[in-house]
Amino acid sequence: MDEVSTIAGKVQRVKDHWPGILAIILTLIAWHCYAIFLIRNRFLLPGPVDVFFAFIALLQKGVLLSDFRVSLIHFAIGLGGALLIGIPIGIVMGWNSRMDAFLNPIIEILRPIPPLAWIPFAIIWFGFTPVSAGFVIFMGAVFPILINTYTGFRGVSRIFVEAGRMLGCTRTRDQIRYIAFPAALPSVISGIRIATGVGWMCLVAAELFGVSNNGLGKDLWFFYDLHQMDSVVVYMILLGLIGLVIDMIFRYYIEGRFLKWRTGEVA
């Protein structure tokens, strides 16, 4: 009885996702035909078969796993720094109008500078260490976190704070901790989610400058220098998939766990 129901459940799930799966299969076939019949140049467009074999070769050499580990460290440094700096500053600016007026011009000048433009100073200040790559990622991740935290705090309904005061929550520290921060949390998490997307995209450029000898971004360029474009595509796909997984972790796990109280508000 149980086996039947789970099989039926699995079949149903496949049926639901069938259009998406079909699209992917069709894209692979189209890519294959286009590469083999039309382009006929492994350099200009490697076909999915070439990419697959390159993937197997890289997997066997064990280089993919060590690259992934190194990139994750860079990413963690950048994102960790962005959280440590972006959230507190966002809170201070969102809660206190004077600090907002004071810091806002500086933020507005720094924010539009593309993260990749910081690469020269990353090298000069931090040399060729993981902190250097992490710094470039940090410059991309910190502003979405800061600004979304700020917006979240500014948007805290005054009535919450007043209700809190009536219930004995009178110290600023407590008001931030028990009222403003939970109220702002959807915005904060949204900012973190955006920041991880931006930060992950900065990873490739950050690792370009020989920061370490491994790393998904670094090896993508390594194989470009050797004109082995099939391996380049392997890294591209890997980077995309990992970015997708990170985003999905946010959507289903983090937002599901911390923001379940919102379900009643939006359909």
Partner 1 sequence: MRIEAIALIAIALLLLTAGCTQPSGTTPTTAAPVKDLRIGYQPSTHQMAEITAMEKGWWQQDLAPLGVGNVSDKVFPSGPPEMAAMQAGELDVAYVGAAPVLTALATGLDARIVAGVNTQGSDLVVRNDLDYTGPQSLKGTTIATFPAGSIQDTVLKDWLTRNNLTPDKDVFIKGMAPGDAVTAIIAGKVEGIFLPTPSPSTVVNQGKGKIVVHSGEMYPNHTCCVLVVSGKLIREHPEIVRQIIATNDRAVAWNKLNRDEAAEIYAKKTSANVTDVKASLSEWDGDWASDPNVIVSPVLDYATIQYNLGYIKKPLTKEEIFDLTFYQKS
Partner 2 sequence: MADRGGGVMGKLEIRNLSKAFPREDGSSLVVLDNISLEVQDKEFVCILGSSGCGKTTLLRMIAGLDSAESGSIVLDGEKMKGTDARVGMVFQEYSLFPWRSVIDNIAFGLEMQGMTKDDRYRLAERYLKLVNLTQFRDSYPSELSGGMRQRVAVARALALDPVLLLMDEPFGALDAQTRNMLQKELLEIWEATKKTVVFITHSVDEAVFLSDRIIVLTPRPGRICQVFPVDLSRPRDRTSPAFAQVRREVLDLINLNCSIQ
Question: Does 16 engage in binding with partner 2 (CB under 8 A)?
Answer: no
Cα–Cα distance measured from residue 131 to residue 67, given in angstroms and rounded to the nearest whole number:
16
Binding site residues, partner 1, CB under 8 A: 19, 22, 26, 29-30, 33-34, 36-38, 40-44, 120, 123-124, 127-128, 209-210, 213, 221-222, 224-229
* Environment class of 71 (CB within 10 Å of its CB; exposed 0-12, middle 13-18, buried 19+): buried
**Rounded (to 5) percent helix, strand, coil in the chain:** 85, 0, 15
Site for partner 2 in 52-71 (CB under 8 A): none
Is residue 184 within 8 Å of 156, Cβ to Cβ?
yes
Question: Does 261 engage in binding with partner 2 (CB under 8 A)?
Answer: yes
For partner 1, give the closer residue by CB, 178 or 224: 224
From the list partner 2, partner 1, none, partner contacted by residue 44 (C-beta under 5 to 8 A by kind) = partner 1
From the list partner 1, partner 2, none, partner contacted by residue 80 (C-beta under 5 to 8 A by kind) = none
Site for partner 2 in 122-181 (CB under 8 A): 157, 159-160, 162-170, 174, 178-179
Is residue 122 within 8 Å of 78, Cβ to Cβ?
no
SS3 of residue 30 by DSSP: helix
Site for partner 2 in 175-214 (CB under 8 A): 178-179, 182-183, 185
From the list partner 1, partner 2, none, partner contacted by residue 262 (C-beta under 5 to 8 A by kind) = partner 2
Is residue 75 within 8 Å of 81, Cβ to Cβ?
no
Cα–Cα distance measured from residue 179 to residue 23, given in angstroms and rounded to the nearest whole number:
46
Residues that bind partner 2 (CB under 8 A): 157, 159-160, 162-170, 174, 178-179, 182-183, 185, 260-265
